[in-house]
Chain A
Amino acid sequence: EIVLTQSPGTLSLSPGERGTLSCRASQSVSGNYLAWYQQKPGQAPRLLIYGASSRATGIPDRFSGSGSGTDFTLTISRLEPEDFAVYYCQQYGTSPWTFGQGTKVEIK
Chain B
Amino acid sequence: QVQLQESGPGLVKPSETLSLTCTVSGGSISNYYWSWIRQPPGKGLEWVGSVYSSGTTNYNPSLKGRVTMSVDTSKNQFSLRLSSVTAADTAVYHCVRSSGYFLYWGQGSLVTVSS
Q: How many A-B contacts are there with CB distance less than 8 Å?
A: 49
Contact of B106 among A33, A44, A46 (CB under 8 A): A44
- Shortest beta-carbon distance from A54 to chain B in Å: 10
Which B residues, 60 to 115, have Cβ-Cβ distances below 8 Å to chain A? 60-62, 94, 100-103, 105-108
Asked if A97 and B108 sit within 8 Å, CB to CB, the answer is no
- Shortest beta-carbon distance from A25 to chain B in Å: 15
Contact of A92 among B94, B100, B105, B106 (CB under 8 A): B100
Residues in B whose Cβ lies below 8 Å from that of A99: 44-47
Contact of B101 among A1, A43, A47, A102 (CB under 8 A): A47
- Count of chain B residues with a beta carbon within 8 Å of a chain A beta carbon: 17
Asked if A96 and B61 sit within 8 Å, CB to CB, the answer is yes
Residues in A whose Cβ lies below 8 Å from that of B46: 99
Asked if A98 and B105 sit within 8 Å, CB to CB, the answer is no
Asked if B62 and A88 sit within 8 Å, CB to CB, the answer is no
CA distance A56 to B104 in the complex (A): 11
Asked if A33 and B107 sit within 8 Å, CB to CB, the answer is no
Q: Quick one: given A95-B58, A96-B61, are A45 and B44 in contact (CB under 8 Å)?
A: no
- Chain B positions near chain A (C-beta within 8 angstroms): 44-47, 58, 60-62, 94, 100-103, 105-108
5 A-B pairs with CB atoms under 8 Å apart are A37-B102, A44-B94, A96-B47, A99-B44, A99-B46
